[in-house]
Structure 1
């Protein structure tokens, strides 16, 4: 069993490396087996379908992103400041790990129900991150009820997430750089257009800071 678990993890490791360098198009079972140095049929002993393997690889991405959120979080900061930190971390991860970021949210590709029973469904990796976002929106609304939309916190959080994800994707495609007249868009440069864009996104969903 230990040998099997070792091979399973090696296949996921190889998949993570491939998606980081070559994107999701490279993630075929045969290609992963070739890079892992095993027979073409070996991955199917642990992953009955390509979707199952993609789900295992994506789970690694969510674990990485979650640890980055945790490392960046200041428990003493206000909910809005924590949401801003989360947003910056999200955009930075999307920029630095584009292949993994693209895979993580492609639930049309990820059939996590095909995972073996000892491995939790992918939704158990994705939903806690969204729940954390909802919690911060809820706390912010409690502190500044007049500033936040009257929509339920989950809806506000989903709108904020959609806005951030769209910004991350348009940035990856070069569209934001085109319309904002700046390249590259950084997350730390002084007076950067992305910094102003992020402020506008947060203001739109959480209310202006100066309000």
Structure 2
């Protein structure tokens, strides 16, 4: 691929990222992405054979931004040596990303994109999940840990997967307005702490 082609391909992805962040995933038609990028309506097809491939390339940018945010949040935590605090920071970054990048968050986990696995989209979350599982392992071994019933028997990857599912559900239901209404909350932090306690056990004082 020539330098010009590489630049135009990146421009189409940039246009899609801008659209999804400002107008939501529903705005990501090929025609609108092409218009935003300042190219002909047929140009995207020359670089992305299918619409799903272009959407997957846009979603990969979202996973990269989420990983960057998680790293920055964890680096600034007040207790960098405490794996549970690191895990809480990672979880906050995930929930904050869902809140501030709602369109991108929805796109990243669209079932048709994940099922098609264009550009290996499903695998893009694996490094972040590996970090989550590592933090779960270390948090369970930490002196302050008071494991929840059954978590000692479950492999770290299983506990990490359950925690991820819990966080994703919290994020989605919070965005829909269901959790604030049902729980009578205006802050998501108590739900995050409850999820950590449920999967890791309460902190031993």
TM-score under structure 2 length normalisation? 0.89
Tell me how large the CA RMSD over aligned residues is. 1.8
- Indicate the SS of the match to 1:108: helix
Worse-matched range after superposition: 123-132 or 167-176: 123-132
- Indicate the SS of the match to 1:48: coil
The 1:146/1:200 distance shift into structure 2, 3 A limit, reads closer
Q: Structure 1: which 5+ residue stretches go unaligned?
A: 116-120, 186-191
**Aligned residue number for residue 82 of structure 2:** 78
| C-alpha contact (below 8 Å) 2:80/2:86 kept by paired residues | no
Q: Structure 2: which 5+ residue stretches go unaligned?
A: none
How big is the shift at 1:29? Answer: 1.2
| C-alpha contact (below 8 Å) 1:51/1:112 kept by paired residues | no
Alignment: residue pair count: 196
| C-alpha contact (below 8 Å) 2:146/2:203 kept by paired residues | no
Instruction: Give the whole-Å Cα distance in 1 for the aligned partners of 2:117 and 2:30.
Output: 16
| C-alpha contact (below 8 Å) 1:167/1:176 kept by paired residues | yes
| C-alpha contact (below 8 Å) 2:60/2:121 kept by paired residues | yes
* Higher helix fraction (1 or 2): 2
Any residues of structure 2 matched to 1:186-201 within 5 Å, and which?
A: 192=187, 194-201=188-195
**Aligned residue number for residue 99 of structure 2:** 95
| C-alpha contact (below 8 Å) 2:17/2:58 kept by paired residues | yes
* Pairing partner for 1:159 from 144, 159, 162: 162
Cα deviation, 1:17-72, whole Å, max 9, x if unaligned, reads 11112222111112211221211111011111111011100111111111111111
How big is the shift at 1:99? Answer: 0.3
| C-alpha contact (below 8 Å) 1:65/1:93 kept by paired residues | yes
- Indicate whether 1:202 and 2:196 are aligned: yes
| C-alpha contact (below 8 Å) 2:83/2:138 kept by paired residues | yes
How big is the shift at 1:146? Answer: 5.8
- Indicate whether 1:131 and 2:130 are aligned: yes
Any residues of structure 2 matched to 1:22-171 within 5 Å, and which?
A: 22-74=23-75, 76-110=80-114, 111-113=116-118, 115=119, 121-143=120-142, 147-148=147-148, 149=151, 150-171=153-174
Instruction: Give the whole-Å Cα distance in 1 for the aligned partners of 2:184 and 2:202.
Output: 25
- Indicate the SS of the match to 1:122: helix
Instruction: Give the whole-Å Cα distance in 1 for the aligned partners of 2:146 and 2:103.
Output: 39
| C-alpha contact (below 8 Å) 2:113/2:121 kept by paired residues | no
